[in-house]
A and B are shown apart, each in its own frame.
Chain A
Amino acid sequence: MLRNLFAGKLQSGGLSVNIFTDDELEQIHFATIEVLKKTGLFIGSKEAREVLDGGGAIVDEKTKTVKFPPYLVEDAIRSAPSKVLLAGRDPKHDIVLESNRVGFTNFGEGVFVIDPYTGERRETTKQDVADSARIVDYLDQIDVYERAVGASDVPEQTMQLHNAEAWLPNTTKHGFMGTGNGYLTRKIFDMAAAIVGGKDALRERPILSTITCPISPLQLVDESCEIIMESAKAGIMVNVLSMAMAGGSSPVTLAGTLVDHNAEVLGGLVLNQLTAKGAPFMYGSSTTAMDLRFAAATVGCPECAMINAAVAQMARYYLLPSWVAGG
């Protein structure tokens, strides 16, 4: 009996949770476009408002509100790269983000730690930052490092510089960190450039990415805008990571929360692409439901998982790399 070769075959593999149909995803997208067009975002930085104004957004200087014509948003989605290289100080740790390839990271950013030697619950220090990087460096299952904890034993105005100094030498994996504000971001990029051999080398092989968080509902404060713009200028990927809390800082419905989240991230994307078209950008989420009994943010509840699945699907729809929160 002959079993001949197939002339071309579509293959499947793995497992996915598809929260939306394409039509439903489109509804979320169009709702977002409407919000960005009619309500807009609060943009705290004057320079950012100028960039957005120059790009065609509608700026109200008095209220610091910016409204986005739909084409601006869609252009930005199109120009941001769908495939991004995150380099490690050691190339064996390089990782490519594309399509629905999945990777894992540790999460951040803790402020307390249970001392591994004394068992005491205490505030985290610069040494803890260094140690956490080292642990993550060792664990094969973790693909990239995120600054796990912060240094509480250093001056607050330069904390991010100390954090960078602590983790950069202690892992050869790519690292993510919140970089505080524009000034500190530039300094941290200088530090990374010194390690890899210059700004151009850093752009070629970026050993770090930045993270910044919009404030729900619909706000990008000064520092967030600065980080988005500095990252774009340096060719470093920025992870605009929203943490809307359903019932607290965004509508209680998950769909409404997603629209709010989406508007914030896409607003950040427009700013990023208008600063430097083609800059790498990541769609981030820690969005979850608020526990309405205790007014607490619950990252690890079932709604968080559903939102994560939704965010991953939305990012795929936009052909952007994404990052979602774990428990």
Chain B
Amino acid sequence: MIGKETLEEAKQAIINYDKEKAVQLTEKVISDGVDPLEIMNNGFIPGINEVGDLFGRGVLFLPELVQCADVMKTVTDIINNALPSQENAEEKGSMVIATVKGDVHDIGKCIVVALLQANGYTVYDLGRDVDTDRIIEEAVKVEADIIGTSALLTTTMTRQKELEEALKSIGLRDKFKTIVGGAPVTGRWAAKIGADAYAEDAQDAVLKVKELLAS
């Protein structure tokens, strides 16, 4: 059993992006022989949830969000390595994400990846300018739950429609949930092309991914 104070410290270490502190607390828990999942579920995860909330409210800014996500990733890696292999932090869900073919803009996508990983999702980031076929190939290979695509240009947005149609034509549409994002993308576009969800920003992506996996 980890003390309330320690759990609070863990939570704050994420919110204050204090990597040193977070790592120190994690290592102590592990060396004390206590189940590290406890500090994850009752300390760090409430921390990253609050970070997302604070960012959504405009209290935390992007550089802080990225740093908090980075701390979260560090402790997550330490904890996963410390667990016996079959007991890995419960797989929340996995997603393949890419910026579509012809498009090299990826700042937004990278923030989405960082935040999703910080929230415990497994994310396969294929990068940018990625062929629709390759996106599907990878999703099949890793048995992803969700396929996410990002497009910044009105001229490349249509690749998101192409993905939906490709999935349908090879009979794999039901195998994945799809989510779209990017500056010119809207909920209406998502509905028009038949995507399962639209996320306006990284925090919205986390919420939508959670919903998609629950459905």
Contacts and interface: CB of A to CB of B under 8 A. Distances in A.
Interface of A: 111, 150, 152, 156, 159, 180, 215, 219, 221, 247-249, 290, 292-295
Contacts of B108: 295
B58 A295 contact: no
Contacts of A290: 62
A180 B156 CA distance: 12
Nearest to B62: A292
A156 B154 CA distance: 8
Nearest to B55: A293
Given A295-B107, A295-B111, A152 B58 contact: no
Interface string B97-115: 0000000110110010000
Given A159-B155, A295-B201, A215 B61 contact: no
Interface range on chain B: under 10, 10 to 19, 20 to 34, or 35 or more?
A: 10 to 19
**8 closest A-B pairs (Cβ-Cβ)?**
A292-B61, A292-B62, A293-B58, A156-B158, A295-B62, A156-B155, A293-B61, A111-B184
Interface in B60-80: 61-63
Contacts of B63: 247, 292
B202 interface: yes
Contacts of B155: 156, 159, 180
Interface of B: 58, 61-63, 104-105, 107-108, 111, 154-155, 158, 184, 201-202
A134 B102 CA distance: 32
Contacts of A180: 155
Contact of A221 (B58, B62, B104, B107): B104
B157 to A, nearest CB: 8
Contacts of A111: 154, 184
Q: Which of A152, A159, A215, A293 has the most CB of B within 10 A?
A: A293
A42 to B, nearest CB: 9
28 contacts: A111-B154, A111-B184, A150-B154, A152-B154, A156-B154, A156-B155, A159-B154, A159-B155, A215-B104, A215-B105, A219-B104, A221-B104, A247-B62, A248-B62, A249-B107, A290-B62, A292-B62, A292-B63, A293-B58, A293-B61, A293-B62, A294-B58, A294-B201, A295-B62, A295-B107, A295-B108, A295-B201, A295-B202
B37 to A, nearest CB: 32
A125 B29 CA distance: 61
Nearest to B159: A156
A247 B63 CA distance: 9
A111 B153 CA distance: 10
